[in-house]
Amino acid sequence: MKQELKSVGKGVRKKDAMQLLLGKPAYVDDVTPSDCLVVKVLRSPHAHALIEEIHTDVAMRVPGIVAVYTYRDVPQKRFTMAGQTYPEPSPYDRLILDRRLRFVGDAVAIVAGENEAAVDKALRLIKVRYEVLTPLLDFRSALDHEILVHPEESWHALCDVGADNRRNLCAQGMESDGDVEQVFADCDVVLERTFHTKACHQAMMETFRTYTEIDTYGRLHVISSTQIVFHARRILANALDIPKSKIHVEKPRIGGGFGAKQTLVAEIYPAFVTWKTGRAAKMIYTRRECQIAGSPRHEMEVKVKLGADRDGTIRALDVHTLSNTGAYGEHGPTTVGLSGHKSIPLYTGSLEAFRFAWDVVYTNVESAGAYRGYGATQGIFAVESAVNELSEMLGLDPVAVRMKNMVKQGQIMPAYYNEPASACALDRCMQQCADAFDWAKKYPVRVTENGKIRAAGVAMAMQGSGISGVDVGSASVKLNDDGFYVLRIGAADMGTGCDTILAQMTAECMDCAIEDVIVFGADTDASPYDSGSYASSTTYVTGRAVEKACLELKEKMCTVAAELLDCPTADVVFCGREISRADGTASVSLTDVANKSMCRNNIALEATCSHSSPTSPPPFMVGMVEIELDRETGTVEVLDYHAVVDCGTVVNPNLARIQTEGGLVQGIGMTLYENIQYDERGHLSENSLMQYRIPTRLETGRLHVSFAPSYEQSGPFGAKSVGEIVINTPAPAIAHAIYRATGRWYRELPILPEHVALGDTVK
């Protein structure tokens, strides 16, 4: 049922593009008053400690200081800062301030004052005596370690995720299909490898920041850079122990999120200050705080056991993931799942059995969170690398091996909750990518005139489109004077362009121009409920809600038009600019209908619909990279990166392409230099953008993105998702190319020039 589309599928400009490019005020700090309290947090210098004594009297005497709060001042009910649907899988293991400090950067005290200088001074004057405890820094030995990160009685988990704080366990589980051991015993080759990825940072350009005030109604009004306004409301209510009705959360433009802002990193501190003092307050994270006390990717060690036959048939996969959630459990139980759920099903085509098991552990390092790809990025690095190793070991072309084993349209994926690959063009992605990249020519290793090595690598990936059976997207569409529409959403455009693509869908449904659709969001008081923008859900889930709402609004408009046309509703047809009698004898303009809605009218020309999907149709993609490697210095230069994506119908080709390019470059950074190093006391070296190096435009290589769209029946106009999958291929593809050039497999990221030059494959 493919329709002729007028707005969907067009590479239109983002609605906010020109204003953003002109530097107009749009973000939290631009649009909120500056004459409010400055809020900062005193951060723990120790990875593990108890506060023995804390004296705030001297700090309080600094002129301009309004409040200094310690663990004695906060509610004693634990909560989680993870922005997830209630009941959250993440354990309730946080207090706003705690006597036990669990990582370097953990909050010791909150200071609020009239200006930054006073607050900085007060921070220096808080006297703390710490009982310094031995930190638990090695996640491989965390399970059942004698040092407990969360020994407290009040720790609790709302969902059965196998968590046990007495064992440092944030989650544990296992699932399988078929008898893996039996299949392994029957395989020609069985390969076992261990991979390690670190806690990379989202490094969005706008750090965490929140403004809070008490509004006219005595409620807490929160303006925050967040992906999850509704979850934020609930989490703040839990943290402050106040009714949810007392809180109003909205987000202005967001300066990037990538999952970081799916956790309430900054909100709680100014909110607490405002609630206690009644004064407006603002907290702006420094980049340093963003690095040491943010919500980075979960560090994971992924063990892959792969059984295959000599002809390259992949018959069994056994994946075990050990995930490091750090000091707190945000997104711990859920990220880990993706490391298996989004990697193993790629080989549904031939797999006879699989097993996937996981442990998620607490340690005394920065708490992890959500970062684009969630756990899929880590799992796909492992499984795709293992498949490349298998291919090279058997002397088979890795592209051919994948063509032989990959998941195909219509197959049921046992490792993906038995959901079907209802729309899958992975085979076309592979073929199209191999052609465009010229795999046949670039796969063989070449030596350039200056002695450098050129080599190629390949990987494929999948992700989801929302969380099946959980995520709720909603849309309200309203007809206004003269016939323009307002679309209200609770999903959060964080630069990704969801405001625009949802407007494209509205325009398509209402048969109007995209300019005639105004988008508003997100605001807990005014927007219809939406889980928020994460898990690659907005296009697929909220998009469908937009379709539903438009359909309902059209019916209402037809009812009003029928009154004007003096005929039964069943006899009118909606034609965008007008509504006509089916027999063509008369019509009313959209303007007439809109104006009628405001005079002697009993039918609200507004419709709100929600949508939740029982499935999460995966987008698929293939990436191929050509590198140039200097064997002596170890420098790896990305020359060309080809990516072909099946995100279903491409709603906006420009934005989908930029999403892909942005994701690839983040993936390149993660693979080659974005590093995380803790010293023996648990201090993070990469605590600034000077130390944590993200890619500049000199090291992206040339990116070539194209699409091989399938059509997802359950998605809006056949669309799936694109936001996250795009970060998943660079690590395995580049590691593969490096193997081709050096003969060595690198199974830990980042792969630094030093490792390549000296051949240090394992630390």
Partner 1 sequence: MLTFNRYLRATSLEEAYTEAQKKSSVVLGGGMWLRLGKRRIGTAIDLSDLGLCGVEETEDSYRIGAYTTLRDLECHAALNTQYSGVLRESLRAIVGVQFRNLATVGGSVFGRFGFSDVVTVLLALDASVELYKAGVVSLERFCTMGRVNDILTHVIIPKRSLSVSYHAQRNSATDFPVLNVCAARNGEQVTVCVGARPARAVAYRYTLDGTAGKAERIANEIASRAVFDSNTRATARYRRHLCCVLVRRALDDILEKEEA
Partner 2 sequence: MEITLTLNGNKITASVAPDTVLLDFLREHGCASVKCGCETSGCGLCTVFLDDKPVLSCSVPVVRADGHKVTTLEGLQEEAAEFIGFIADQGAEQCGFCNPGFVMNTIALLRENPDPTDDEIRAYLAGNLCRCSGYEGQTRGIRAYLNAKKEGRL
Answer for which of 682, 695, 701, 723 binds partner 1 (CB under 8 A) is 695
Question: Residues 330, 80: contact at Cβ < 8 Å?
Answer: yes
Is residue 331 within 8 A of residue 261, CB to CB? The reply is: no
Q: Which of residues 30-59 bind partner 2 (CB under 8 A)?
A: 30, 34
- With CB under 8 A as the contact rule, the residue among 259, 270, 497, 718 that binds partner 2 is 497
Work out which of 5, 20, 191, 396 binds partner 2, going by CB under 8 A: 20
Binding flag, residue 677, partner 1 (CB under 8 A): yes
Point out which span in 75-83, 403-411, 599-607, 689-697 binds partner 1 (CB under 8 A). 689-697
Closest CA to 485 of 535, 398, 549: 549
Part in contact with partner 2 (CB under 8 A); list of ranges 24-32, 170-178, 411-419, 430-438: 24-32
Query: 261-283 burial by CB neighbour count: b if 16+ within 10 A, else e?
Result: bbbbbbbbbbbbbbbbeebbbbb
Using the 8-state DSSP alphabet, how is residue 194 labeled?
E
Binding residue for partner 2 (CB under 8 A) from 202, 263, 367, 465? 202
Q: Are 272 and 96 in contact (CB under 8 A)?
A: yes
Total residues in contact with partner 1, by rule CB under 8 A:
26
Instruction: Pick what 752 binds: partner 1, partner 2, none; C-beta below 5 to 8 Å, kind-dependent.
Output: partner 1
Alpha helix locations (H) across 573-684? 590-596, 653-672
Distance separating alpha carbons of residues 502 and 697, to the nearest angstrom: 30
- Per rule CB under 8 A, is residue 696 in the interface with partner 1? yes
Q: Binding string to partner 2 for residues 154 to 193, with x set by CB under 8 A, is what?
A: ----------------------------------------
Indicate which of partner 1, partner 2, none lies near residue 494 (CB less than 5 to 8 Å, by partner kind): partner 2
Contact call for residue 100 and partner 2 (CB under 8 A): no
CA distances from 192 to 183, 318, 376, 389, 671 (A): 15, 9, 19, 10, 22
Cβ closer to partner 1: 634 or 663?
634
Q: Is 683 in the site for partner 1 (CB under 8 A)?
A: no
Structure tokens at 756: 């390549």
CA distances from 442 to 310, 438, 587, 618, 703 (A): 24, 6, 62, 29, 16
Peptide bond into 87 cis (omega under 30): yes
253 near partner 2, rule: CB under 8 A: yes
Regarding 640 and contact with partner 2 (CB under 8 A), the answer is no
| Number of CB atoms found within 10 A of residue 86's CB | 10
- The listed partner (partner 1, partner 2, none) that binds 592, CB under 5 to 8 Å by sort, is none
Question: Could you give the 3-state DSSP secondary structure of residue 691?
Answer: coil
How far lies 698's CA from each of 431, 675, 694, 701, 751, in Å? 29, 19, 11, 8, 18
The region of 85-93, 250-258, 270-278, 754-762 touching partner 1 under the rule CB under 8 A is 754-762
Distance in angstroms (rounded) separating the CA atoms of residues 479 and 594: 6
- The pattern of x and - marking residues 568 through 597 that bind partner 2 according to CB under 8 A reads ------------------------------
**Would you say 97 or 756 has its CB closer to partner 1?**
756
**Which of 486, 661, 681, 744: binder of partner 2 (CB under 8 A)?**
661
Among the listed residues 691, 713, 743, 762, the single contact to partner 1 using CB under 8 A = 691
What is the nearest approach in angstroms of partner 1 to the Cβ of residue 203?
Answer: 13
Is residue 757 near partner 1 by the rule CB under 8 A? yes
Contacts of 240 (CB under 8 A, 6+ apart): 75, 96, 220, 268, 271, 272, 275
Residue 104 contacts partner 1 per CB under 8 A: no
- What radius of gyration do the chain's Cα atoms show? 27
754 binds, among partner 1, partner 2, none (CB under 5 to 8 A by kind): partner 1
Q: Which of 396, 486, 551, 694 binds partner 2 (CB under 8 A)?
A: 694
Give the 3-state secondary structure of residue 668: helix
Q: CB of 289: closest distance to partner 1 in angstroms?
A: 13
- Alpha carbons 342 and 357: distance in angstroms, whole number: 14
Measured from the CB atom, the residue of 401 and 638 that comes closer to partner 1 is 638
User: Is residue 571 a contact residue for partner 1 (CB under 8 A)?
Assistant: no
Beta strands (DSSP E) in 219-347 are: 220-224, 247-250, 281-284, 299-308, 314-326
Measured from the CB atom, the residue of 235 and 665 that comes closer to partner 2 is: 665
Secondary structure of residue 196 in the 3-state scheme: strand
Spatial separation of the C-alpha atoms in residues 354 and 356, rounded to whole Å: 7
Query: Applying CB under 8 A, does 754 fall inside the site for partner 1?
Result: yes
Q: How far is the CB of 27 from partner 2 (least distance, A)?
A: 7
DSSP secondary structure code for residue 538 in this structure: I
For partner 2, the binding residue among 689, 753, 760, 761 (CB under 8 A) is: 689
Q: Is 643 helix (H, G, I), strand (E, B) or coil?
A: strand
Q: According to CB under 8 A, which one of 36, 204, 302, 406 is a site residue for partner 2?
A: 204
Q: How far apart are CA 101 and CA 60, in angstroms?
A: 22
Answer whether 488's CB lies under 8 Å from 520's CB.
yes
Among 45, 256, 576, 753, binds partner 2 (CB under 8 A): 256
* Interaction between residue 592 and partner 1 (CB under 8 A): no
Partner touching 443 among partner 2, partner 1, none, CB below 5 to 8 Å by kind:
none
CA distances from 443 to 320, 426, 452, 543, 733 (A): 31, 20, 15, 40, 12
In the complex, the smallest distance separating the C-beta of residue 752 from partner 1, rounded to whole angstroms, is: 6
Three-state secondary structure call for residue 442: helix
Interaction partner, residue 403 (partner 2, partner 1, none; CB < 5-8 Å by kind): none
Residues of this chain that interact with partner 2 (CB under 8 A) are 11, 13-14, 16-18, 20-27, 29-30, 34, 202-207, 253-258, 286-288, 494-497, 652, 654-655, 657-658, 660-666, 688-690, 694-698, 700, 702-703
Residues of this chain that interact with partner 1 (CB under 8 A) are: 117, 120, 632-635, 669, 672-673, 675, 677, 685-686, 688, 690-691, 693, 695-696, 698-699, 752-754, 757-758
